[in-house]
Chains A and B, each alone.
Chain A
Amino acid sequence: MYEVIAFYIFAISTTILFLITVMSKNVLYAMTALAAGMVMISGFFFLLGADFLGVVQLIVYVGAVMALYAFAMMFFDATKDIKEKHQNPALVFLLGGLMALVFVVMFSAPIIGENVQALYPIVDGVGNAQAVGMVLFTKYLVPFEVAAVMLLVAMIAGIILAGKKMDYSLTECEVSDQELEDEILKGEAK
């Protein structure tokens, strides 16, 4: 009973929030709605008894990914509306139609596939984190390792991109005070 009520609350609020994300012309509204929608999605994990994944959803998407989006938005004026340019309406129409088709398939999939069953049901006495760990280190070990290598590559690339002038301090001026004074005096003499 409670679960059904909670599910509908989460479902309706997720849909509305993501609609705001897509429809709004204001960057700040879109970002706020996307972050709030991510919080609402974690509610589904909690409802399904997957506490660990719900918390991971909170930490990774809400805490880290969305905050990075927000960081990028510091470079825009967040209080102004954005004018969108539609250069190719046919492409937009095609992509929108394809998305709609995918949605129809997704929603009708449970009706067609009646025999959907959980391959890894919740085991009593085994915690959520342990269950995820067991699957991750047995069946999905190779994808896990590949993901780890990819993250390492991304990290090294990030360091190289950002690492120029890393040994150069922004606050400690390399020019000594005496030299600086000379420069100023020279400038005044001119």
Chain B
Amino acid sequence: MEATILPEVTAAGVIIKAVLILAVISAIAGFGTFIERKILAFMQRRLGPMHVGPHGLLQLAADGIKLFTKEDIIPQHANKVVFAVAPAITAATAFIALAAVPVFPDFTIPFVDIYVPSIASDINVGILFVLGMMAAGLYGPLLAGMAQANKWGIIGSARTAIQFLSYEVITGLSILAPIMMVGSLSFVDFNNYQTDGLWMVVYQPVAFVLFIIAGFAETNRTPFDLLEHEAEVISGYATEYSGMRWGMFFIGEYANMITIGVIAAVVFLGGYNDFWIFPGWLMIIAKIAFSFFFMLWVRAAWPHVRPDQLMWLCWKVLMPLAVINVIITGIVMMLV
């Protein structure tokens, strides 16, 4: 691929990009709830939301109105400042993580001639930054659970700390093998590495599976959604939350799902390269959409796991596999 000269990235372009990410991803989070309910319903032979609008399509407007107008309750003995800040941490870290990944194709706004880049902030350690920001995201559930003076909340935040800390190890180790092959931490280099050759998933199938499993745990999706396991801990860290504060946890979770989808697409599934007759921007949206759908599919197909099974899976199965994968990758790279 010949190097195309890109226009200069200006401050205005970055700000427009940031607003665009914030608006579109928030909207997708709202729309995602509808899609999730519909897909789950069809997989479980139900109809899902049907009454509001055609096929329940206006349900998301109704949900939005409900969330915005619901009374914002802060429990009497809660630590009010931390209780109020915690949902913002979840949403903010999720969106900050999205600043360093390629989300939409780059384009130039006509007439005013402002170039909007594909990556809001193209730092050369992009992958580590995204993983670090998602790691910082654990403070949302953690502080929420500890601030609300509720036993279920404490259990929820204890589970948050265990689950996120454990599965960060898997995410880091699984993505280390592709990083060794590419020799860079930049998403752009990962994309260019797969321009001519095969997708990374062909070379690193084990790392891909490990990353997806850890991604489910880090986004708190169903086989591993122990943080707010209704049957055991009511709603875990979110027990005392209502209205838009709860909605911010939700938006953060959906934004994290999209981030995991983007990392999986760029690192393992060929990135935003053109494929056959399909242009690159369509390919990456299709890949992210598939990851999103896959998460819903798994939710419909698999039950929850117990906390001890979660830890067993992490430390006795996934971590040894990830370490062995890294070692084998290193040996093969030395010999070849």
Binding site for B on A (CB under 8 A): 26, 28-29, 32, 35, 39, 46, 51-52, 55-56, 58-59, 62-64, 66-68, 70-71, 73-74, 78-79, 127-129, 169-171
Q: A28-B79, A67-B164, A74-B157 are in contact. List 5 more A-B contacts (CB 8 A).
A: A51-B123, A58-B132, A59-B131, A73-B146, A127-B124
Minimum CB distance partner of B150 in chain A: A79
Interface size class of B (residues with CB under 8 A): 35 or more
Q: In B176-193, which residues have CB < 8 Å from any A CB?
A: 184-185
Contacts known (A58-B136, A62-B135); A32 close to B308, Cβ less than 8 A? no
Q: Is the CB of A129 within 8 A of B136?
A: no
The answer on a CB contact under 8 Å between A67 and B147 is: no
Residues of A within 8 A of B35 (CB): none
Residues of B within 8 A of A (CB): 77-79, 81-82, 85, 123-125, 128-129, 131-133, 135-136, 138-139, 142-143, 146-147, 149, 154, 157-158, 161-162, 164-165, 168, 184-185, 306, 308
**Contact of A74 with B158 in the complex, beta carbons under 8 Å:** yes
Q: Which residues of B contact A51 (CB under 8 A)?
A: 123-125, 129
A66 and B161 CA atoms in complex are apart in Å by 10
User: Which of chain B's residues have a CB closer than 8 A to the CB of A78?
Assistant: 79, 146-147
In the assembled complex, how far is the CB of residue B11 from the closest CB belonging to chain A, in whole angstroms? 9
Inter-chain contact total with CB atoms closer than 8 Å: 92
Contact present for B165 and A67 (CB under 8 Å):
yes
**Please, how many angstroms separate the alpha-carbon atoms of A171 and B135 in the complex?**
30
Chain B residues near A59 (CB-CB < 8 A): 128, 131-132, 135
Using known A-B contacts A63-B168, A128-B124, determine if residue A79 contacts B132 with beta carbons closer than 8 Å: no
Q: Report 20 cross-chain contacts, Cβ distance below 8 Å, ordered by A residue.
A: A28-B79, A32-B139, A46-B123, A55-B125, A55-B132, A58-B132, A59-B128, A59-B132, A63-B136, A63-B138, A66-B139, A67-B139, A67-B142, A67-B165, A70-B139, A74-B161, A78-B146, A79-B147, A127-B184, A128-B124
- Complex partner residue of A55 from B77, B129, B143, B158, CB under 8 angstroms: B129
A127 contacts across to B, CB distance below 8 A: 124, 184-185
Return chain B residues, CB-CB under 8 Å to A62. Answer: 132, 135-136, 139
Residue in A32, A39, A70 whose CB lies within 8 Å of B136: A39
Contact A79 B78 (CB under 8 A): yes
Asked whether A29 lies within 8 Å of B81 as measured between CB atoms, the reply is yes
Evaluate contact between A55 and B128: CB separation under 8 angstroms. yes
- In the complex formed, the residue of B with least CB distance to A52 is B125
A102 to B140, CA, bound (A): 36
Residues on B with C-beta less than 8 A from A46 are: 123
In the complex formed, the residue of A with least CB distance to B189 is A127
In the complex, what distance in Å separates the CA atom of A149 from the CA atom of B99? 37
CB neighbours of A39 from chain B (8 A)? 136
Interface centre among B124, B129, B136, B158 (most CB of A within 10 A): B136
Inter-chain contacts of A71 with B (CB < 8 A): 158, 161-162, 165
CA distance A70 to B132 in the complex (A): 17
Report the nearest A residue to B158, measured CB to CB.
Answer: A74
Report whether B82 and A67 are in contact in the complex, using a CB–CB cutoff of 8 Å.
no
Collect the chain A residues with CB atoms within 8 Å of residue B308's CB.
169-171
Check if B128 sits within 8 Å of A52, measured CB to CB. Answer: yes
Cα A78 to Cα B151 with chains together (Å): 12
Q: Are B82 and A28 in contact (CB under 8 A)?
A: yes
**CB contact between B165 and one of A28, A52, A64 (< 8 Å): that residue:** A64
State the 8 A-B residue pairs at the shortest beta-carbon distance, nearest first: A63-B135, A58-B132, A55-B128, A59-B132, A78-B146, A71-B161, A51-B125, A79-B149
Say yes or no: B143 contacts A32, CB within 8 Å: yes
Could you say which of A55, A66, A74 contacts B146, with CB atoms under 8 Å apart? A74
Residues on A with beta carbons closer than 8 Å to the beta carbon of B124: 51, 127-128
CB of A45 to closest CB in B, whole Å: 11
* Beta-carbon contact of A79 and B77 below 8 Å: yes
Cβ contacts under 8 Å, B162 to chain A:
71
Q: How far is the CA of A64 from the CA of B131 in the complex (A)?
A: 12
Residues from chain B with Cβ under 8 Å of A171 in the complex: 306, 308
Question: How far in angstroms is the closest Cβ of chain B from A131?
Answer: 11
Q: Is the CB of B125 within 8 A of A129?
A: yes
Task: For the complex, give the distance between the alpha carbons of A127 and B136 in Å.
Answer: 24
The smallest C-beta distance from B309 to any residue of chain A, in angstroms, reads 9
Minimum CB–CB distance for A70 against chain B, Å: 5
Q: Are A70 and B161 closer than 8 Å at their CB atoms?
A: yes
Please give the distance in Å from B148's CB to the nearest CB on chain A. 8
In the complex, how many angstroms separate the beta carbon of A95 from the nearest chain B beta carbon? 29
Residues of A with C-beta under 8 A to B154: 74
